[in-house]
Structure 1
Amino acid sequence: MNFNKGGIVPDSYGLTLTVYAKEAVEVGTPLVFDATQGDYGVRKATKGEVPQLFSKLKESEVNVPISAFVVGYSRNLEVKTSGSVALGNTLVLAADGTLTAETGVESGTAKSKILVVAVDTANHTAEVLI
Protein backbone atom coordinates (compact mmCIF):
# COMPACT_ATOMS: atom_id res chain seq x y z
CA MET A 1 0.00 0.00 0.00
CA ASN A 2 1.09 3.54 -0.64
CA PHE A 3 0.08 6.26 1.83
CA ASN A 4 0.33 9.94 0.92
CA LYS A 5 0.40 11.21 4.50
CA GLY A 6 0.68 9.89 8.02
CA GLY A 7 -1.49 10.87 10.92
CA ILE A 8 -2.44 10.31 14.52
CA VAL A 9 -3.26 6.68 15.31
CA PRO A 10 -6.81 6.06 16.61
CA ASP A 11 -7.20 5.94 20.38
CA SER A 12 -7.74 2.16 20.39
CA TYR A 13 -4.14 1.50 19.23
CA GLY A 14 -1.21 1.15 21.60
CA LEU A 15 -1.08 0.31 25.29
CA THR A 16 -3.19 2.32 27.72
CA LEU A 17 -3.06 1.86 31.49
CA THR A 18 -5.21 3.10 34.33
CA VAL A 19 -2.90 4.82 36.81
CA TYR A 20 -3.17 7.02 39.90
CA ALA A 21 -1.62 10.49 40.07
CA LYS A 22 -1.08 12.37 43.31
CA GLU A 23 -1.33 15.70 41.48
CA ALA A 24 -3.59 17.29 38.86
CA VAL A 25 -2.76 16.50 35.22
CA GLU A 26 -3.60 18.01 31.84
CA VAL A 27 -4.07 16.16 28.55
CA GLY A 28 -0.64 15.05 27.37
CA THR A 29 1.13 15.52 30.71
CA PRO A 30 4.40 13.52 30.69
CA LEU A 31 4.41 11.03 33.58
CA VAL A 32 6.76 8.50 35.19
CA PHE A 33 5.98 5.56 37.45
CA ASP A 34 6.62 6.28 41.14
CA ALA A 35 6.75 3.39 43.62
CA THR A 36 6.33 5.82 46.54
CA GLN A 37 2.84 6.59 45.18
CA GLY A 38 1.67 2.95 45.50
CA ASP A 39 0.66 0.41 42.89
CA TYR A 40 0.24 2.02 39.47
CA GLY A 41 1.22 5.33 41.05
CA VAL A 42 2.63 8.03 38.78
CA ARG A 43 3.98 11.54 39.11
CA LYS A 44 4.74 14.29 36.62
CA ALA A 45 8.09 13.82 34.92
CA THR A 46 10.76 16.36 35.81
CA LYS A 47 13.54 18.03 33.81
CA GLY A 48 15.83 15.56 32.05
CA GLU A 49 13.63 12.54 32.73
CA VAL A 50 12.33 10.36 29.95
CA PRO A 51 8.52 10.15 30.28
CA GLN A 52 7.12 6.63 30.57
CA LEU A 53 3.46 7.62 30.01
CA PHE A 54 1.34 10.53 28.76
CA SER A 55 -2.05 11.34 30.31
CA LYS A 56 -5.02 10.93 27.99
CA LEU A 57 -7.30 13.33 29.86
CA LYS A 58 -7.43 16.28 32.22
CA GLU A 59 -8.04 15.50 35.87
CA SER A 60 -8.03 18.16 38.60
CA GLU A 61 -8.64 15.74 41.47
CA VAL A 62 -5.90 13.59 42.97
CA ASN A 63 -5.91 9.86 43.79
CA VAL A 64 -8.52 9.11 41.17
CA PRO A 65 -7.90 6.71 38.27
CA ILE A 66 -6.69 8.31 35.06
CA SER A 67 -5.96 6.80 31.69
CA ALA A 68 -2.47 7.14 30.18
CA PHE A 69 -0.64 6.05 27.00
CA VAL A 70 2.44 3.94 27.73
CA VAL A 71 5.69 4.81 25.93
CA GLY A 72 7.11 2.01 23.80
CA TYR A 73 6.58 2.82 20.09
CA SER A 74 2.98 1.71 20.32
CA ARG A 75 1.39 4.89 18.97
CA ASN A 76 1.99 8.48 17.97
CA LEU A 77 0.74 11.76 19.43
CA GLU A 78 1.29 15.50 19.30
CA VAL A 79 3.37 17.12 22.08
CA LYS A 80 4.53 20.65 22.95
CA THR A 81 8.23 21.27 22.27
CA SER A 82 10.90 23.83 23.09
CA GLY A 83 14.35 24.53 21.75
CA SER A 84 15.57 23.13 18.47
CA VAL A 85 13.66 19.94 17.66
CA ALA A 86 14.20 18.17 14.35
CA LEU A 87 12.92 15.12 12.56
CA GLY A 88 14.54 11.99 14.03
CA ASN A 89 15.45 13.56 17.41
CA THR A 90 14.71 11.71 20.62
CA LEU A 91 13.10 13.86 23.31
CA VAL A 92 13.33 14.38 27.07
CA LEU A 93 11.46 16.72 29.40
CA ALA A 94 12.59 20.37 29.61
CA ALA A 95 12.34 22.53 32.74
CA ASP A 96 9.17 24.25 31.46
CA GLY A 97 7.27 20.94 31.04
CA THR A 98 7.66 20.77 27.26
CA LEU A 99 9.77 18.20 25.45
CA THR A 100 13.16 19.07 24.00
CA ALA A 101 15.83 17.27 21.98
CA GLU A 102 17.93 14.82 23.97
CA THR A 103 21.56 15.95 24.11
CA GLY A 104 24.80 14.75 25.62
CA VAL A 105 24.57 11.18 24.35
CA GLU A 106 26.73 9.51 21.76
CA SER A 107 25.15 8.53 18.47
CA GLY A 108 23.13 5.35 18.85
CA THR A 109 23.04 5.46 22.66
CA ALA A 110 19.89 7.53 23.20
CA LYS A 111 17.99 6.72 26.40
CA SER A 112 14.68 8.14 25.25
CA LYS A 113 12.34 6.18 22.98
CA ILE A 114 10.25 9.25 22.17
CA LEU A 115 11.06 9.79 18.50
CA VAL A 116 10.11 12.85 16.42
CA VAL A 117 8.38 12.03 13.11
CA ALA A 118 7.01 15.49 12.21
CA VAL A 119 7.73 19.03 13.42
CA ASP A 120 5.53 22.15 13.43
CA THR A 121 7.99 24.93 14.31
CA ALA A 122 5.35 27.67 14.04
CA ASN A 123 3.24 26.12 16.81
CA HIS A 124 6.13 24.60 18.81
CA THR A 125 4.71 21.11 18.53
CA ALA A 126 5.89 17.79 17.15
CA GLU A 127 4.30 14.48 16.29
CA VAL A 128 6.19 11.75 18.12
CA LEU A 129 6.24 7.99 18.32
CA ILE A 130 5.90 6.76 21.87
Structure 2
Amino acid sequence: MVDRISHLPSLAALAVAGVFAGIGVWVDGERPGWLFGVFLVAGSVVAAAVVRPVGLWTVVPAPPVLCAALVVGGAALGGKSLRELVISSAPLVVRTFPSMAAAVAAGVVVAVVRVGGTWWQSRSSSTRRADAGD
Protein backbone atom coordinates (compact mmCIF):
# COMPACT_ATOMS: atom_id res chain seq x y z
CA MET A 1 0.00 0.00 0.00
CA VAL A 2 2.74 2.45 0.91
CA ASP A 3 4.59 1.91 -2.35
CA ARG A 4 1.50 3.09 -4.23
CA ILE A 5 1.70 6.53 -2.61
CA SER A 6 5.49 6.78 -2.45
CA HIS A 7 6.19 9.02 -5.39
CA LEU A 8 7.40 12.33 -3.96
CA PRO A 9 10.85 13.57 -4.94
CA SER A 10 13.42 13.93 -2.17
CA LEU A 11 13.17 17.71 -1.86
CA ALA A 12 9.38 17.60 -1.61
CA ALA A 13 9.58 14.94 1.12
CA LEU A 14 12.16 17.06 2.96
CA ALA A 15 9.77 19.99 2.69
CA VAL A 16 7.02 17.85 4.24
CA ALA A 17 9.31 16.95 7.14
CA GLY A 18 10.33 20.59 7.45
CA VAL A 19 6.72 21.74 7.65
CA PHE A 20 6.02 19.22 10.41
CA ALA A 21 9.14 20.33 12.31
CA GLY A 22 8.28 24.00 11.76
CA ILE A 23 4.81 23.46 13.17
CA GLY A 24 6.44 21.77 16.17
CA VAL A 25 8.71 24.77 16.77
CA TRP A 26 5.77 27.13 16.37
CA VAL A 27 3.59 25.17 18.81
CA ASP A 28 6.33 24.69 21.40
CA GLY A 29 7.61 28.25 21.30
CA GLU A 30 11.17 29.37 21.95
CA ARG A 31 12.26 26.26 23.83
CA PRO A 32 11.47 23.10 21.85
CA GLY A 33 10.25 20.28 24.05
CA TRP A 34 8.35 17.02 23.76
CA LEU A 35 5.68 18.43 21.46
CA PHE A 36 8.36 19.48 18.99
CA GLY A 37 9.71 15.93 19.22
CA VAL A 38 6.32 14.47 18.36
CA PHE A 39 6.04 16.67 15.27
CA LEU A 40 9.63 15.93 14.25
CA VAL A 41 9.06 12.16 14.49
CA ALA A 42 5.72 12.42 12.66
CA GLY A 43 7.33 14.46 9.89
CA SER A 44 10.14 11.95 9.55
CA VAL A 45 7.71 9.03 9.34
CA VAL A 46 5.49 10.74 6.77
CA ALA A 47 8.45 11.85 4.67
CA ALA A 48 10.02 8.39 4.71
CA ALA A 49 6.69 6.83 3.78
CA VAL A 50 5.93 9.06 0.78
CA VAL A 51 9.37 9.58 -0.76
CA ARG A 52 10.57 7.62 -3.76
CA PRO A 53 12.67 4.62 -2.71
CA VAL A 54 15.87 6.25 -3.93
CA GLY A 55 15.12 9.28 -1.74
CA LEU A 56 15.24 7.32 1.51
CA TRP A 57 18.97 8.01 1.67
CA THR A 58 18.19 11.73 1.82
CA VAL A 59 15.12 11.77 4.03
CA VAL A 60 16.12 9.37 6.81
CA PRO A 61 19.19 11.29 8.09
CA ALA A 62 17.55 14.72 7.60
CA PRO A 63 15.90 15.35 11.04
CA PRO A 64 19.08 16.55 12.80
CA VAL A 65 19.78 19.01 9.99
CA LEU A 66 16.17 20.22 9.98
CA CYS A 67 16.15 20.54 13.75
CA ALA A 68 19.40 22.47 13.89
CA ALA A 69 18.33 24.75 11.03
CA LEU A 70 15.01 25.55 12.67
CA VAL A 71 16.47 26.18 16.10
CA VAL A 72 19.34 28.32 14.80
CA GLY A 73 17.03 30.07 12.32
CA GLY A 74 14.59 30.89 15.08
CA ALA A 75 17.37 32.29 17.23
CA ALA A 76 18.77 34.27 14.28
CA LEU A 77 15.45 36.06 13.79
CA GLY A 78 16.16 37.86 17.03
CA GLY A 79 18.93 39.86 15.32
CA LYS A 80 21.73 38.62 17.54
CA SER A 81 25.44 38.64 16.79
CA LEU A 82 27.15 35.40 15.78
CA ARG A 83 28.55 34.88 19.27
CA GLU A 84 25.17 35.42 20.93
CA LEU A 85 23.55 33.19 18.32
CA VAL A 86 25.91 30.29 19.08
CA ILE A 87 25.60 30.76 22.84
CA SER A 88 21.81 30.87 22.76
CA SER A 89 21.16 28.12 20.20
CA ALA A 90 23.73 25.48 21.27
CA PRO A 91 21.82 24.41 24.40
CA LEU A 92 18.59 24.18 22.40
CA VAL A 93 20.20 21.91 19.80
CA VAL A 94 21.61 19.71 22.57
CA ARG A 95 18.23 19.67 24.32
CA THR A 96 16.50 18.40 21.16
CA PHE A 97 18.92 15.51 20.68
CA PRO A 98 16.48 12.84 21.94
CA SER A 99 13.88 14.09 19.48
CA MET A 100 16.39 13.99 16.64
CA ALA A 101 17.48 10.46 17.55
CA ALA A 102 13.87 9.26 17.77
CA ALA A 103 13.04 10.84 14.41
CA VAL A 104 16.01 9.19 12.69
CA ALA A 105 15.13 5.84 14.30
CA ALA A 106 11.51 6.14 13.14
CA GLY A 107 12.71 6.97 9.63
CA VAL A 108 15.02 3.95 9.66
CA VAL A 109 12.14 1.69 10.73
CA VAL A 110 9.94 2.97 7.89
CA ALA A 111 12.81 2.56 5.41
CA VAL A 112 13.52 -0.99 6.55
CA VAL A 113 9.84 -1.92 6.28
CA ARG A 114 9.61 -0.41 2.80
CA VAL A 115 12.83 -1.93 1.46
CA GLY A 116 12.23 -5.26 3.23
CA GLY A 117 8.69 -5.48 1.88
CA THR A 118 9.88 -4.78 -1.64
CA TRP A 119 12.61 -7.39 -1.31
CA TRP A 120 10.18 -9.95 0.11
CA GLN A 121 7.69 -9.47 -2.71
CA SER A 122 10.33 -9.64 -5.44
CA ARG A 123 11.80 -12.97 -4.33
CA SER A 124 12.14 -15.56 -7.01
CA SER A 125 9.47 -18.21 -7.14
CA SER A 126 12.20 -20.85 -7.37
CA THR A 127 12.99 -20.32 -3.68
CA ARG A 128 9.56 -21.46 -2.56
CA ARG A 129 9.00 -25.00 -1.35
CA ALA A 130 7.87 -27.44 -4.02
CA ASP A 131 5.21 -29.03 -1.82
CA ALA A 132 3.54 -25.70 -0.97
CA GLY A 133 0.10 -25.64 -2.56
CA ASP A 134 -0.98 -22.50 -4.41
TM-score per shorter chain, which class? under 0.3
Whose strand proportion is higher, 1 or 2? 1
User: Which of these two proteins has the greater Rg computed from alpha carbons?
Assistant: 2
Q: TM-score, normalised by structure 2?
A: 0.23
Whose helix proportion is higher, 1 or 2? 2
Higher relative contact order (CA 8 A, sep 6+): 2
